[in-house]
Amino acid sequence: MSDPQYDIVAIGNAIVDVLAQTDDAFIAEEGMAKGTMQLLFSTEEAEALYAKMGVGREVSGGSAANTVAGVAALGGKAGFIGQVADDQLGAVFAHDIRAQGVAFDTVARTEAEPTTARCLIFVTPDGQRTMNTYLGASQFLPAAALDAELIQAGAILYLEGYLWDPAEPRAAMRKAIELARGAGRKVAFTLSDTFCISRHRDDFVKLLEDGDVDILFANEAEIMSLNETEDFEAAVAATAPKVPLLVVTRSEKGALAIAGGERVEVAAEPIDKVVDTTGAGDLFAAGFLTGQAQGRSVRDSLTLGAMCAAEIISHYGARPEVDLKALAAKRFG
Amino acid sequence: MSDPQYDIVAIGNAIVDVLAQTDDAFIAEEGMAKGTMQLLFSTEEAEALYAKMGVGREVSGGSAANTVAGVAALGGKAGFIGQVADDQLGAVFAHDIRAQGVAFDTVARTEAEPTTARCLIFVTPDGQRTMNTYLGASQFLPAAALDAELIQAGAILYLEGYLWDPAEPRAAMRKAIELARGAGRKVAFTLSDTFCISRHRDDFVKLLEDGDVDILFANEAEIMSLNETEDFEAAVAATAPKVPLLVVTRSEKGALAIAGGERVEVAAEPIDKVVDTTGAGDLFAAGFLTGQAQGRSVRDSLTLGAMCAAEIISHYGARPEVDLKALAAKRFG
C-alpha cells in the first residue's frame, strides 16, 4: 500500500449555514429542542422558518466539512466529498472549502431542484446553537460520486452520522468504508447528534460491532443516547471496548479518550465568552485528528482538539478565524 | 401635505457583501486602491477575483441599504428601494432588510442574468476595506420601479452617489428627487467614494447648485475630491454655502456639520480595536439622519452618527450587531 497523500478525507453534507441571533422564547415558541439539529423536510418548511428568522449571515458549514476546514487550517492535508447543487450557495460552499486549501471535486448537481443544503442556525444569548437543516441537494450524494482514489489516499476517512439520514449518502458511506478498509486506512466516525442517533441507533451500533470504526467521536449526550442510558460513565464503559479509540467531548468539562483500556482526560481550554457553539464538536475533531495524523500522543491530540473548539466558540460561525497552525505551534512548539 | 409615515426612505444598490481577510500584499498585487470601491464590469471578472479570495462570509450590504438597516435598528421607520434578481442572493438581501424592519417591496428581476449584485470586500489587518462591486441586477433599477407613495411618505429621501454609475438608476434617482420635492420632503445625498466622484463630479456639483440636496454627506477625501483640492478646509468652505446642511466625517478625527454658517464638531467615539471599517460612513449617516428625524440637535445627531459608526467598525460586516436603540437610549436617556 502506498503512503497516504492526505491526512484526512471526509464525507459529509455540503451545507451553507445561515446564522441569526434569537432569544430563548423563540426557540420555545417554535418547539425546537435547544442545542440539537432537526431536519426540515420541504422547501416550504425551510422558507417559512427563514421568514421568521432575523438578519442572517451566511457562512459555509456542514459538520465534516467544518472538520476538514479545521484540519487544513492546522496545516494538515485534507479532502472533502459532498453534494452541492449548481447554484449560488453551491458556488459559495465550493469556493470556501477550496479557499481553505481542502481538495474538493464532487461535481455539482445540475438539476434546478433541490437547491444546495442550508442550515438555519438560531444562536441564543448563552451561545448555544439550535439547527434546522434543509438537506436539499446534499441528500442526493450517490455512491457513484465517491472519488475512490481520494478516499484511498487519505490516512483517515472521516464520516458524519448526519449522512445516515438520507438513503443515497448512507449507501455511499458504506461504499466509502469498504474503499478505505480495502486500502488499509482508518475510519473515524462522529455520532453527530442525539436525534440523529435515535433515528439510526441500530445502524451505528452495528458499525461499531462490525469493527468498521477505528476512532469514534461523541459528546456526553450522544454517548448516553447511543447506550440508552443517563449514566455517563456506564455509557463510556459500554462503548469503549467496541472501538480502538473512543473520544468523548464534555463541553466545559473538557474531553476524554480511551484507547486499549487506557483513559486520558484533558480540561477545556479557558475562554472569555462563549459567543456561538456552532462547530465546537467539528473543530474538536479537526484538532484531534490532525494531532493523530501528526503522530502526537492521545493527550496532545485531545489538547489540540480543545484548543480548536475554544477558538471556534469565541466567534460566530463554524470555520476558523485565526491562524490555527500558528496557535498550535505556540502551544506545542 | 400629509405627515410622513417614514423617517427615511432610501434608494441604493441592493448588494450582498462577501467579506474575506487578506494582507496588504494582495491589495498591491491586484492593483487595488486600498479603502476605495472599484466596479467589476463582467461576471468573468467577478468570478476570477472571487477565485483568488479567501474563505468568505456573506452578509447583506449596499451603502444606502446599510443606512436604512441602521435607521431601523435605532427604532426609526425606514423604507428601501433597490433592484435584486430572483436568485438565492436576492432572496438573502430581501430577507435581511425586511428582518431588520425595513419596508422593501421592489420586485425582483426575473431575467436569469445578471445575478444579484455582490461586493467582494477585502479586509486588511488594519481594518480597512477595499471593495470590488459587481453591480449585476442592481444596475437595472428602472424609474418605473420607484414606489412613488413610499418616496412621498418619507420625511427624508436618502440617495447614494454610487447609483450614478449605471444609467437606469441614475434616471430613477432624478425621478425620485422630483417625487420627494413635490411632496415637500427633504433630500439627503452621500458622495459615496472618491472614484465615484471622479466619474460624476459635474453631476454632483449640479445637484448641489440646483438646490436638489438638503443634507450632503461626505468624508474628508470625498469633499476634497468634489472640490478638486487637497486643502480640506478650503473644500469645506467651498461646499458649505451650496447645501443647507453639510456633514463631513473624518474617521478617527470625528465629524463636523455646517448649517446656516454655523459649524459643529464632535470627536470620534472611543473604540478598542478597528476590525472592519465596512459600513462606517453608512452607519454614521444612519445615526445622523435618525437624530434629525427624532428632532435632535445637529450636535446630538453627529454624536449618534459617531456612536453607530463606532459599533459597526468593531466587527465584521456593515449591519449592526447590537441593539443600537438601547445604546442610543443609554447615551441620551
pLDDT tens digits along B116-141: 999 999 999 999 999 999 999 999 99
By CA distance, what is A322's nearest residue in B?
B21
Which residues are within 8 A (CB) of B262 and not within 5 positions of it... i.e. 6 or more apart?
A: none
A209-238 in b/e form (b: 16+ CB < 10 A) is: eeebbbbbbbbbbbbbbbbeeeebeebbeb
pLDDT tens-digit map of A206-238? 999 999 999 999 999 999 999 999 999 999 999
Q: For each of chain A's 333 residues, which pLDDT tens digit applies?
A: 578 999 999 999 999 999 999 999 999 999 999 999 999 989 999 999 999 999 999 999 999 999 999 999 999 999 999 999 999 999 999 999 999 999 999 999 999 899 999 999 999 999 999 999 999 999 999 999 999 999 999 999 999 999 999 999 999 999 999 999 999 999 999 999 999 999 999 999 999 999 999 999 999 999 999 999 999 999 999 999 999 999 999 999 999 999 999 999 999 999 999 999 999 999 999 999 999 999 999 999 999 999 999 999 999 889 998 899 999 999 887
Does B3 or B281 have the greater pLDDT score?
Answer: B281
| B168 at interface of A, judged by CB pairs closer than 8 A | no
Distance CA A326, CA B61 (A): 32
Rg over alpha carbons for chain B, rounded to the nearest Å, is: 18
List all residues of chain B from 77 to 136 with a beta carbon under 8 Å from chain A: 87-89, 92, 95-96, 99-100, 115
Task: Write a three-state SS string for chain A.
Answer: CCCCCEEEEEECCCEEEEEEECCHHHHHHCCCCCCCEEEECCHHHHHHHHHHCCCCEEEECCHHHHHHHHHHHCCCCEEEECCCECCHHHHHHHHHHHHCCCEECCCCECCCCCCCEEEEEEECCCCCEEEEEECHHHHHCCHHHCCHHHHHCEEEEEEEHHHHCCHHHHHHHHHHHHHHHHCCCEEEEECCCHHHHHHHHHHHHHHHHCCCCCEEEEEHHHHHHHCCCCCHHHHHHHHHHHCCEEEEECHHHCEEEEECCEEEEECCCCCCCCCCCCCHHHHHHHHHHHHHHCCCCHHHHHHHHHHHHHHHCCCCCCCCCCCHHHHHHHHHC
Mean pLDDT of chain B: 95
- pLDDT band (50, 70, 90) for residue B1: low
- pLDDT band (50, 70, 90) for residue B3: confident
Q: How close, in Å, is residue A56 to chain B by CA atoms?
A: 6
Q: How many CB atoms lie within 10 A of CB A133?
A: 24
Q: Do A92 and B55 touch (CB under 8 A)?
A: no
pLDDT tens-digit map of B4-29? 999 999 999 999 999 999 999 999 99
Tell me which of B18, B58, B86 to substitute to probe the interface with A (most A C-beta atoms closer than 10 Å): B58
Distance CA A49, CA A40 (A): 9
- Which residues of chain A does B95 touch, with a Cβ-Cβ cutoff of 8 Å? 50-51, 53, 56
Report which of B128, B93, B71 is spatially closest to residue B13, judged by C-alpha positions: B93
Phi, psi of B303 (to 5 degrees): -60, -45
- Which residues of chain B does A56 touch, with a Cβ-Cβ cutoff of 8 Å? 92, 95-96, 99
- Which residues of chain A does B54 touch, with a Cβ-Cβ cutoff of 8 Å? 99
Of B51, B54, B99, the CB nearest to A53: B99
User: What local confidence, expressed as pLDDT, does residue B56 receive?
Assistant: 96
Please say whether the beta carbons of B86 and B16 come within 8 A.
no
Of A20, A58, A69, the CB nearest to B58: A58
User: What local confidence, expressed as pLDDT, does residue A65 receive?
Assistant: 98
* CATH architecture assignment, domain A6-13+63-88+98-108+139-332: 3-Layer(aba) Sandwich (3.40)
- Which residues of chain A does B88 touch, with a Cβ-Cβ cutoff of 8 Å? 87-89, 115
Q: Do A56 and B88 touch (CB under 8 A)?
A: no
By CA distance, what is B89's nearest residue in A?
A88
Distance CA B96, CA B60 (A): 7
User: What local confidence, expressed as pLDDT, does residue B131 receive?
Assistant: 96
Q: Where are the beta strands (DSSP E) in B65-214?
A: 78-81, 103-104, 117-123, 129-134, 154-160, 186-190
Q: How close, in Å, is residue A69 to chain B by CA atoms?
A: 10
User: What local confidence, expressed as pLDDT, does residue A200 receive?
Assistant: 96
Q: Do A57 and B59 touch (CB under 8 A)?
A: yes
Domain ranges (residues) in chain A: 6-13+63-88+98-108+139-332
| B19 at interface of A, judged by CB pairs closer than 8 A | no
Q: What is the pTM of this model?
A: 0.94
Q: Do B60 and A60 touch (CB under 8 A)?
A: no
pLDDT tens-digit map of A20-54? 999 999 999 999 999 999 999 899 999 999 999 99
Name the percent of chain B lying above pLDDT 90. 93
By CA distance, what is A21's nearest residue in B?
B321
Give the number of A-B residue pairs with CB atoms closer than 8 Å.
Answer: 52
Identify the CATH number of the domain defined by range B6-332: 3.40.1190.20
Sheet holding A37-40, edge to edge: A37-40, A129-134, A117-123, A15-21, A57-60, B57-60, B15-21, B117-123, B129-134, B37-40
